Amino acid sequence: MTIPDIERAAALFGNRFVTQEVPTDAIPDEGMTAVDAMRLVAEDLALEGDPARNLATFVTTWMEPEAQRIIANNLHRNFIDHAEYPRTAEIEQRCIRMLADLFNAPGETTGARTQGSSEAIMLGALSLKWKWRKRREAAGEPSTHPNLVFGGDVHVVWEKFCRYFDVEPRIVPLQKGKYTIGPDDVAPHIDENTIGVAAVLGTTFTGHKDDIVGINDLLVRTKKERGLDVPLHVDAASGGFVWPFLYPDSKWDFRLEQVRSINVSGHKFGLVYPGVGWLIFRERSDLADDLVFTENYLGKTDATFTLNFSTGSSMVLAQYYNLVRFGRAGYTYIMRGMQKNAQLLAEKLEAMGRFELIGADEETLPLAAFRLAGDEVYDEFDIAWQLSAERGWMVPAYTLPPDAEDITIMRALVKETLSREHVDTLATDIETACATLARKGGADESERRQIVISPGH
C-alpha cells in the first residue's frame, strides 16, 4: 500500500499509531484527526497506574456521575471572571462560609479558593508574615528576620514557603517513636520574630495530628506572660474534612483562641477531584489588607487574593455539589465507612504477625500506617515493589523526616473506593507479596532501582 492508502485505511479501520511513532519532541507539521488524537492520548494513558489501586494518594480518585456532569459542563468557565460569572463567585463564597462554619469561626469571616492546600498555605503564611511586619513596624522594631516554627512532620510546602518568601524555617525534628510535635517542642523556638506556628491535622507521614490544643495553650500563655501574640495556622489539608465528622469533640479549629487561619484541600477528603483547596481566616482582620489586589481588567472592579489568576470553575462547583449533596450526615457516613475499613485493614495486618501498626489507636486519618516488626530478608521498600508488580497496588514505603530517618514505614490510604472486599484482597495480596519475597530473598537490585520512595500526596 502507498502512504495515502495507509492513511485512508487507518482512517477507515482504526488507529494510525498502531504502527507509527507518536509525536514527542516537536509539534507535528500536519495535525491529525480528532479520533487519532484522542486514541493517541488514550493509549498513552492505558500504561498509567490505576487510580483505584493508588493507596499512596490522599487525593480523590472517584466522584459521582452527577458531579462529573457538573465538572464536564463547566470546563469552559474561567473562575476568575467574576464579573461574567457572578453565580460561580457566589458559590465560592457559599463554600467559604460553610467551611468557616464547619471550623467553628466565631463570626463573619473571609477566605479564598485556591488550587490546593499548597497555594492556600503560601497565602496563609504570607498573611502571617505581613501581619507580623505591620506589628513590628508599629512598635518601631526591626522586621528583617522573620521565622516560622513547625515540625519535621509537615508537608514540603512549608519549607518551600520559607525558601520562596525569605523566612527562616525553625523545624522541630521528629524522634524515634514520636512523629508529631507538641508545646514543649515548639516553646524554645518562639521569639519576637516568629510570624506564626504551623501545626498539622492529619500528617502526610502517619495521618496523626500535632498536639494542637497544647500548642494553642502555649501560645495563649506566651501572649499573657511575654506579650507576644503568635498566631497558629492549622494545616488541615487532609484532616479538615475528617476530624469534624469522625472526632467532632476534638478541638483543633477556631474553637482554639490562637488558631487564626486554616487550610484544607477540597480535593482530598473534601471528596472533589484535583485541584481545589481552601484558606479560611478566623476573622476578616487576619487577612493582611496589602495582599488583596484590586483590578478591573475583566469588566468590573474585583479584589483578588491568589497566586494564580485564571483557573477552572468546575472544582469549585463540584465542591459546592458535595457540600450540599452529602451534608454533615453524608460526610459522616462516608468518613466512618473509610475509618471502618482502615481499622479492618490494620487488624488484618496485625494478625499477620510481622507488622507493627503506627498509632492505630490515636485520632487519625482513614489509613493504615505500618512497618515490619522484626528482621526479614526483605524490607518495606521490597514489599511496596512486590505488591505493585504482582497486583498493581500502589502502597508507598518511605523513610520519616529527621531525626527519625532510620524508620521506614508503609501507608495505605483507605478511600471511598476501597470496599470491604478490596480490603480483604489487599490483605491477602500483602501476605502473598511477603511470601514471594521470603522465597526469593528480597527484591532484586534491578527491582530496587525502580522503587519510588516518597510518601505520595
Closest to ligand PLP by CB, 88 or 204: 204
CB of 347 to ligand PLP, least distance (A): 25
**Which sign, positive or negative, has the C-alpha torsion 213, 214, 219, 220?**
positive
Are 339 and 347 spatial neighbours (Cβ–Cβ below 8 Å)? no
- Of the candidate residues 16, 58, 74, 364, the single one contacting ligand PLP (CB under 6 A): 58
Closest to ligand PLP by CB, 384 or 413: 413
CA distance linking residue 259 with residue 335, whole number of Å: 24
CB of 97 to ligand PLP, least distance (A): 21
The piece of 115-123, 189-197, 338-346, 414-422 that touches ligand PLP (CB under 6 A) is 115-123
Interface with ligand PLP includes 36 (CB under 6 A)?
no
CA distance readout (Å), 357 to 102, 222, 339, 367: 31, 36, 15, 11
Read off the amino acid at residue 72: A
Name the strand (E) or helix (H) holding 454.
none
Q: Nearest to ligand PLP by Cβ — which residue?
A: 116
- Of the candidate residues 54, 74, 88, 118, the single one contacting ligand PLP (CB under 6 A): 118
Binding mask 339-368 for ligand PLP (x = CB under 6 A): ------------------------------
Q: What angle do CA 270, 240, 232 make, to 5 degrees?
A: 145
- Of the candidate residues 71, 200, 318, 410, the single one contacting ligand PLP (CB under 6 A): 200
- Of the candidate residues 60, 204, 216, 222, the single one contacting ligand PLP (CB under 6 A): 204
β-pairing, 367-372 vs 232-235, is unpaired
Interface with ligand PLP includes 238 (CB under 6 A)?
yes
Binding mask 252-291 for ligand PLP (x = CB under 6 A): -------------x-----------x--------------
For residue 416, what are the contacts with CB-CB under 8 A and spacing of at least 6?
62, 271, 334, 337, 338
Q: What angle do CA 136, 287, 267 make, to 5 degrees?
A: 130
Binding mask 374-413 for ligand PLP (x = CB under 6 A): ----------------------------------------
Edge to edge, the sheet with strand 111-114 lists 111-114, 277-281, 259-265, 232-235, 194-200, 147-151, 168-172
CB of 314 to ligand PLP, least distance (A): 16
CB of 438 to ligand PLP, least distance (A): 33
CA distance linking residue 435 with residue 89, whole number of Å: 55
Interface with ligand PLP includes 157 (CB under 6 A)?
yes
- Binding residues with ligand PLP: total (CB under 6 A): 15
Are 165 and 199 spatial neighbours (Cβ–Cβ below 8 Å)? no
Interface with ligand PLP includes 155 (CB under 6 A)?
yes
CB of 243 to ligand PLP, least distance (A): 13
Closest to ligand PLP by CB, 117 or 193: 117
β-pairing, 293-295 vs 302-304, is antiparallel
CA distance readout (Å), 263 to 112, 291, 446: 10, 17, 41
CB of 190 to ligand PLP, least distance (A): 22
233 — phi, psi (to 5°)? Answer: -105, 130
CA distance linking residue 334 with residue 388, whole number of Å: 27
Closest to ligand PLP by CB, 157 or 423: 157
CB of 391 to ligand PLP, least distance (A): 24
Closest to ligand PLP by CB, 118 or 314: 118
The piece of 26-34, 62-70, 199-207, 333-341 that touches ligand PLP (CB under 6 A) is 199-207
CA distance readout (Å), 157 to 116, 121, 123, 163: 11, 8, 12, 10
- Of the candidate residues 116, 231, 366, 401, the single one contacting ligand PLP (CB under 6 A): 116
The piece of 128-136, 197-205, 384-392, 417-425 that touches ligand PLP (CB under 6 A) is 197-205
CA distance linking residue 112 with residue 92, whole number of Å: 8
- Of the candidate residues 237, 317, 394, 397, the single one contacting ligand PLP (CB under 6 A): 237
431 — phi, psi (to 5°)? Answer: -60, -45
The footprint of ligand PLP (CB under 6 A) covers 58, 116-118, 155, 157, 200, 203-204, 235, 237-238, 265, 277, 457
